[in-house]
Amino acid sequence: MARTNGGGGGDEKFCKEYLVLKPEDGGYPNLFHLLFSPNVEHSKFVDSPAGTEIHGIRRRWLLVVSVTLQKILLSLGKPMFWIGLVIETFLNTNIVEFFANLFRGKMPLPDKNSATFTSFIGHLDSRVDLDKKIEVGSSKYYGALSAMAAKLSYENEASVKTVVTDHWKMKFLKFYDSWNDYQGKATTQAFMFQDKAEDPELVVVAFRGTEPFDADAWITDLDISWYDLSCLGKVHGGFMKALGLIKGEGWPQKFNRTGSDQRLLAYYTLRDELREILGKNENAKVIVTGHSLGGALAILFPTVLAFHKEDDWMLKRFEGVYTFGQPRVGDEKLGEYMKEQLRINDIKYFRYVYCNDMVPRLPYDDKSLLFKHFGTCLYFNSRYEGKVVDEEPNKNYFNIFRTIPKMLNAVYELFRSFFIGYWRGPEYSEGWFLILVRVIGVMIPGLSAHCPRDYVNITRIGSLTP
């Protein structure tokens, strides 16, 4: 993507080649300089080594789009929060009571930290129980458990604990609200549980994906900054920052906050917790999972462990990484590196992709961005028929010739909503809220296909097993 002429000059001294976007550091007029000048190191929006040049207006145009969208999201953070609050209040309140309170000018808010509070994502799929037809040890078990854990990660701590303990009959370990050094706030959530209270055989780490009204999470997704980390290759900067990249330091092997600064970084916190659990339970294996952004963090977690070679023993305790609707996380070199690490440590990596879901097709896999998927792709169509492929069809999503077929497929998914409960059983019935989202999905094909509900379905009734 970029050519450097040597030297230093940026703030990220831990890395020789990098390109970090800083949307907050310039005004909209500065976008013209970024678009028309190949010397991006002089742009207020870019932190890069001295002499960094990007030739080709298409490449710079993608940077401009990324910066512009991030700037818009920075200004919309509070409005998005309040819109989400109103919608979730409506969804978590009796309809008659909601409108009565609205008419009286009073709107008592439900407790977002209550075990009975359900997120926007949770209202698209209210199922909390594991599929009893999928037994422990069956070929579908890990995938089905991972999909439910990835979906559950969108809920608050009390709700997560209740489901894991009371419905799954497993041991809830901890919920993590982790710091992002670059955004200066806690933006990354994950939770951990194990299959048994004593002598566990399985420990699961589930990362939360992008919440619909969380501007910070969307900024992470749209931040196409990258870091070229020695043996790893180029890695998506937004995902690195969310996982716990330390500003100005990168990924030091050992890191502890000192003094009054006790802000927790996801990677280091989870690594240390797993190290302790695995040290005490020699038979325990690890699964890492996540949906959307959570899927990106799930595969990057063992990537950084591999980068820290001192933790190789932990990788050998990984049973697998299961991601759902995961975006691309790096370039071809990263993919080759991780393929070898997964092979050496006998780690399964299954990347589930449902039909026209747009997120696994981003960021672009083309000569402008060079992002590449790796691992085993389990692709399922809208009839939940699966196959193993190297790459999902229509790999970059935006293809004018596929627009009409995608819209027709979205119409089928909407039609399916009214009958799937009769076809597959009552637990697959879809409520009015999901049907509304599927209507929007007809206008924006691939949007509703990203919902965790379809990913839970394909792990339960899909024709393909890992």
What H or E segment, with its residue span, contains residue 438? helix 432-443
| Residue of 216, 357, 365, 454 marked active site | 357
Question: What CA–CA distance (Å, rounded) separates 315 from 220?
Answer: 26
| Residue of 123, 291, 373, 450 marked active site | 450
Question: Residue 37 catalytic?
Answer: no
Spell out the residues 6+ positions from residue 410 whose beta carbon is closer than 8 angstroms to its own: 356, 438, 441, 442, 445, 446, 448, 449
Question: Residue 195 catalytic?
Answer: no
Question: What CA–CA distance (Å, rounded) separates 217 from 135?
Answer: 35
276-280 CB contacts, 8 Å cutoff, 24+ apart: 277/173, 277/194, 277/200, 277/203, 278/203, 278/314, 278/317
Pull the structure tokens for residue 374: 């790796």
Question: Residue 129 catalytic?
Answer: no
Give, in order, the Cα–Cα distances in Å from 146 to each of 9, 162, 247, 295. Answer: 43, 17, 31, 11
| Residue of 292, 365, 373, 417 marked active site | 292
User: Taken in order 147, 149, 150, 152, is the CA torsion positive or negative?
Assistant: positive
CA atoms within 13 Å, Cβ hemisphere of 300: 31
**Structural contact between residues 77 and 119, judged by C-beta atoms closer than 8 angstroms:** no
Residue 167 DSSP class: I
Question: What CA–CA distance (Å, rounded) separates 443 from 204?
Answer: 37
**Structural contact between residues 85 and 71, judged by C-beta atoms closer than 8 angstroms:** no
**Structural contact between residues 124 and 437, judged by C-beta atoms closer than 8 angstroms:** yes
Question: What CA–CA distance (Å, rounded) separates 285 from 191?
Answer: 16
Question: What CA–CA distance (Å, rounded) separates 144 from 130?
Answer: 8
Query: Is the link from the previous residue into 393 a cis peptide, with omega within 30 of 0?
Result: no
- Beta bridge partners, 380, equal 354, 386
* Helix intervals (H) in 249-331: 266-280, 293-307, 312-315
Give, in order, the Cα–Cα distances in Å from 339 to each of 56, 128, 147, 314, 335. Answer: 31, 34, 23, 17, 6
Residue type at 363 in one-letter notation: P
Residue 155 DSSP class: S
Spell out the residues 6+ positions from residue 260 whose beta carbon is closer than 8 angstroms to its own: none
CA atoms within 13 Å, Cβ hemisphere of 304: 27
State the catalytic residues: 292, 357, 450
